[in-house]
Amino acid sequence: MSAGVHTVAVIGAGKIGELMLSGLLRSGWPVDKLLATARRPARAEELTARYGVRVVDNLTAVDEAAVLAISVKPQDAAALLDEIGPKVPADKLVISLCAGLPTSFFSRRLPDGTPVVRVMTNTPALVDEAMTAISAGAHATGAHLALAEEMFKPLGQTIRVPESQQDAVTALSGSGPAYFYLLVEAMIDAGILLGLPRQVAHELIVQTAIGSAVMLRDSGEHPVKLREAVTSPAGTTISAIRELEKHGVRAALLAALEAARDRARELAAQAD
Ligand SMILES: NC(=O)c1ccc[n+]([C@@H]2O[C@H](COP(=O)([O-])OP(=O)(O)OC[C@H]3O[C@@H](n4cnc5c(N)ncnc54)[C@H](OP(=O)(O)O)[C@@H]3O)[C@@H](O)[C@H]2O)c1
């Protein structure tokens, strides 16, 4: 199996499925090698109008595609697999983008021997800056993982992790963009509290976020070192840090990510 040669069907093309479709198209995947499925006719029309992609029913997608990328909500996955599971020939590759669901959830509902790969990407895929973690499930070979990587590499960075780490990945990078947006939103509010116009506060914080992110990525330095470089003795930054520590921001993040990890487990239990 090599990239762009076979047909990929995005089953349940909502927000994440659309990110995947548009990323594959941007990377040069031929539109006639892509299929999508949707539950509502209006959504199907939208996808065809936006990308020129053929939207078909789930069983046609199973029939025509070599790779089935399942991007429905975890709570919709069992019903979907009731419909398509018995019809999936065991030589198709099933890629799950569903948060929380282990590959065993799919394997139990697919013919014996069907390779399953579990993927957790995130919304910066929209600007080709996604972080995508990829794990092999039952029957997935190195070639299947390599193909999944080829499909997600154009959307940003990819990393291979053991499946046992995927719930933690979901909590960190899957949900991660939301934590940064919340921080930015709160800092813009703080700017307004300090008397800055909203637009100025927005510009200051967004560029500061971008600059800090690029330094984190490109300098290779530990975040503590980068923070220390901004924290002079008896200066302004340490006064702010004292307040952040006093209000338990670090502990809040530890608890928040643990809650996201637990919710991923809960979703899997409810989907079964
Ligand atoms: N959003 C994120 O940031 C993010 C990040 C990482 C992973 N994920 C995972 O990605 C998956 C999708 O999330 P999302 O945010 O993209 O959800 P979403 O926008 O609701 O997309 C799911 C789509 O699947 C459709 N669908 C449901 N059952 C179907 C069926 N039987 N046949 C065909 N289409 C069906 C839904 O149709 P309707 O429009 O009728 O509901 C919807 O359009 C989830 O499993 C989530 O855990 C999401």
State mean pLDDT over 181-185.
Answer: 98
For residue 187, what pLDDT band results from cuts at 50, 70 and 90? very high
Q: Which CATH architecture has domain 175-268?
A: Orthogonal Bundle (1.10)
pLDDT at 2 over 60: no
Ligand 1 centroid – CA 91 distance (Å): 25
Q: Spell out the residues 6+ positions from residue 231 whose beta carbon is closer than 8 angstroms to its own.
A: 237, 238, 241
Q: Burial of 177 by CB count in 10 Å (0-12 exposed, 13-18 middle, 19+ buried)?
A: middle
For residue 224, what pLDDT band results from cuts at 50, 70 and 90? very high
Pocket test for ligand 1, best of 10, 60, 76 (most atoms within 8 A of CB): 76
Question: Is 58 labelled as part of a ligand binding site?
Answer: yes
Taking alpha carbons only, the member of 97, 119, 96 closest to residue 108 is 96
CA 38/CA 55 separation, integer angstroms: 7
The domain locations on the chain are 8-161, 175-268
Q: Match 């840090």 to its residue by tokens.
A: 241
Taking alpha carbons only, the member of 156, 212, 158 closest to residue 184 is 212
Q: Mean pLDDT for the chain?
A: 95
CA 86/CA 194 separation, integer angstroms: 61
Backbone angles phi, psi at 88, to 5 degrees: -85, 115
CATH number for the domain formed by residue range(s) 8-161? 3.40.50.720
pLDDT tens, residue by residue, 50-68: 999 999 999 999 999 999 9
Quote the percentage of the chain above a pLDDT of 90.
93
pLDDT tens, residue by residue, 106-156: 999 999 999 999 999 999 999 999 999 999 998 999 999 999 999 999 999
